[in-house]
């Protein structure tokens, strides 16, 4: 037994001249494992990062779950108001995992300038609006102040500002149809631009203008305690379907809930494909790495045919001899994993900090740079999985050891 492990160490360290024959193949195998790990880490980090960033952007404009009056559920604008006097507002204590609840209202309108016009949806927000999730998209100016008296401050997108040729401090008129009597003269409001944002989502940037919710209440002739709908933010996005069902059960029968996954199902179907792509890349990389390790193991076995014969002649059983080569293979895999993790995680850290790599066409991905995100459990599971699967693939070729007879092996040159 001690002799076997001594020989195993000699194999790992290249203790004799024969190791030089297999050295290039072993190096290729280690490089293949390292490159595979780098590709898998980058694929996971970019796929997860892009999913999280897109989900984050959609939720900034809608929350994770929305609570509507049934009559509003299929409309982008608020029609029938909902009372603020709800058990779940301002804090939803009946369901765990909810981080914030905010009340909003929306109303369609048209911005008219001297040269052009644009159709918009004015999103009315109040003091409870969670601007912290929106702040990173603010390019110029400041967040409007809706905590005091009613004012005309609004936040518009860079896309809309460019189309309407508006800048900070500029004023414009917006016309809103009267829901109760569309035939009457529309409501007119004069707003001032105090901030410009850019979310990268053209669907939202070309539509939403953030204004004081009290303007919408007045135009719709609502009471001070009435809003269009509530937006719910969750602590964990993965719980969205479960929490939506719980929230629905905790609200009045006149109210309905809708998740952003249901409202924007096309977007979430698209980003759902990222998981499939990541799985394909991981599968291919493991197969490539495994094949390279199988080649390296076979070369080592062929080089050590005489040694195997000697060990069998000394009474060592087949399984112990196979373990010598499997230990050596595990060492090589671990070496590849080390360099792969070092380089892969280093690239991910650099991209997360400096954002050097950009999308050639940001509009297709709703973001200009390639976002990355990966956690420690994922890295550990990936490494353990690669090591286990590669060793599993090596069990079959190691069976060759059992077919080597001592008499023929000792004569082998």
List the domain boundaries for the chain: 2-56+268-411, 82-227
pLDDT computed for residue 113 by the predictor = 84
Would you say 69 and 82 are in contact if contact means Cβ atoms under 8 Å apart?
Answer: yes
Report residue 40 as tokens: 């898998």
Report residue 397 as tokens: 């070729």
Q: Could you tell me the mean pLDDT of each successive run of 10 residues in the chain, 413 residues long?
A: 51 46 74 88 90 88 89 70 88 88 91 86 91 87 89 92 91 81 76 91 89 91 90 91 91 88 87 83 83 74 66 67 76 88 93 85 77 91 88 74 60 53
Distance CA 26, CA 262 (A): 51
Read off the pLDDT of residues 257-270 as tens digits, 9 standing for 90 and up: 899 988 888 888 88
pLDDT computed for residue 277 by the predictor = 83
Report residue 53 as tokens: 């960033």
Q: pTM of the predicted model, to two decimals?
A: 0.78
Read off the pLDDT of residues 2-12 as tens digits, 9 standing for 90 and up: 554 555 455 44
Report residue 43 as tokens: 């694929």
* Helix, strand, coil abundance in the chain, percent, nearest 5: 55, 20, 25
63 contact partners, CB below 8 Å, separation of at least 6: 102, 230, 231, 232, 233, 260
99-130 exposure pattern, b = at least 16 Cβ within 10 A, e = fewer: ebbbbbbbbbbebeeeeeebebebbbbbebbb
| Beta pairing, strands 229-234 & 226-227 | unpaired
> Which H or E element spans position 309?
helix 305-313
pLDDT computed for residue 361 by the predictor = 75
pLDDT computed for residue 20 by the predictor = 47
The chain-wide mean pLDDT, for the chain, equals 82
Read off the pLDDT of residues 319-375 as tens digits, 9 standing for 90 and up: 776 777 778 778 888 888 999 999 999 999 999 888 888 887 767 777 888 889 989
pLDDT computed for residue 30 by the predictor = 84
Neighbours of 373 (CB within 10 A): 17
């Amino acid at each position: 037994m001690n002799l076997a492990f001594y020989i195993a160490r000699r194999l790992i360290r290249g203790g004799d001249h024969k190791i030089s024959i297999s050295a290039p193949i072993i190096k290729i195998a280690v490089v293949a494992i390292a490159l595979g790990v780098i590709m898998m880490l980058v694929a996971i980090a970019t796929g997860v990062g892009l999913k999280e960033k897109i989900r984050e952007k959609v939720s900034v404009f809608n929350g994770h779950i929305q609570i509507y009056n049934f009559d509003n559920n299929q409309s982008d604008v608020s029609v029938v108001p909902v009372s603020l006097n709800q058990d779940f507002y301002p804090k939803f204590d009946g369901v765990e995992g909810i981080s914030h609840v905010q009340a909003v209202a929306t109303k369609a309108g048209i911005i008219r300038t001297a040269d052009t016009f644009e159709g918009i949806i004015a999103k009315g927000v109040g003091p409870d609006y969670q601007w912290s999730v929106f702040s990173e998209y603010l390019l110029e100016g400041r967040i409007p102040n809706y905590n005091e008296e009613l004012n005309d401050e609004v936040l518009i997108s860079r896309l809309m500002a460019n189309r309407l040729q508006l800048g900070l401090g500029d004023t414009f008129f917006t016309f809103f149809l009267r829901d109760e009597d569309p035939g009457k003269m529309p409501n007119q409001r004069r707003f001032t631009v105090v901030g410009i944002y850019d979310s990268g989502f053209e669907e939202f940037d070309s539509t939403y203008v953030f204004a004081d919710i009290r303007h919408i209440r007045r135009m719709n002739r609502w009471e001070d305690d009435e809003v269009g709908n509530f937006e719910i933010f969750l602590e964990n996005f993965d719980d969205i379907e479960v929490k939506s069902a719980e929230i629905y059960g905790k609200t009045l029968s006149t109210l309905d809930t809708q998740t952003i996954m249901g409202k924007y199902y096309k977007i979430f179907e698209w980003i759902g494909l990222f998981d499939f792509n990541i799985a394909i890349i991981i599968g291919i990389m493991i197969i490539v790495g495994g094949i390279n390790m199988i080649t390296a193991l076979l070369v080592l076995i062929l080089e050590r045919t005489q040694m195997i014969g000697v060990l069998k002649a000394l009474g060592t059983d087949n399984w112990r001899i196979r373990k010598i080569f499997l230990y050596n293979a595990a060492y090589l895999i671990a070496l590849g994993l080390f360099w792969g993790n070092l380089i892969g995680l280093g690239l991910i850290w650099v991209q997360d900090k400096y954002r050097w790599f950009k999308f050639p066409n940001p509009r297709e991905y709703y973001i200009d740079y390639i976002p990355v995100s990966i956690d420690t459990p994922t890295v550990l599971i990936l490494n353990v999985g690669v090591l286990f699967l590669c060793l599993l693939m090596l069990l079959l070729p190691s069976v060759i050891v059992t077919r080597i007879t001592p008499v023929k092996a000792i004569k082998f040159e």
